[in-house]
Amino acid sequence: MKTKIKSITVIIITILTFNCIENSNIIGSQDVAELSSAEFTITATSYTSSKLTVSGTVANTGNSVYYPRWYIEGEFYSDDNYSIKLGGSSTSINFSLAPGESTFWELDFSSSSIVESDYPNFAVRNLRAYLNN
């Protein structure tokens, strides 16, 4: 009986622990506060046999400061037809961005399901900045 109680206790603690961990790998979640005044520019894309990389700048065109921790995410596609979605990526920003300021960003994508170098003409869209709720 004590063994069953210990087992149940371990399972409950494990479930509660995993529910408290922030999952930053969820791309496109509606459970965030989107920073709609973020204006993105893509300045470069590159690929290797193990990852796709996109970089650029984001400008805060609004009237409010973006306070840390805020995030940038985007979706990666096989090409600019946007018909095959490869997946998504996000990064966190740990500094403030005042109105009128810009900063650099970079997203990397890799997947065990693809060979990244097979997609030299990959495209990225649905970039957004957000705060977790």
pLDDT in tens, 11-40: 444 443 333 334 445 788 888 999 999 999
Q: Which residue has the higher pLDDT, 127 or 5?
A: 127
Q: Name which of 90, 86, 75 is nearest 119 in CA terms.
A: 86
Is the Cα dihedral 64, 65, 68, 74 positive or negative?
Answer: positive
**How crowded is residue 4: how many other Cβ atoms within 10 Å of its Cβ?**
8
Per-chain mean pLDDT for the chain: 87
Query: d(Cα 100, Cα 4) in Å, to the nearest integer?
Result: 59
Name 37's Cβ contacts closer than 8 Å, sequence gap at least 6.
60, 61, 62, 63, 64
pLDDT tens per residue across span 61-79: 999 999 999 999 999 999 9
Residue 44: pLDDT band with limits 50, 70, 90: very high
Residue type, 82: Y
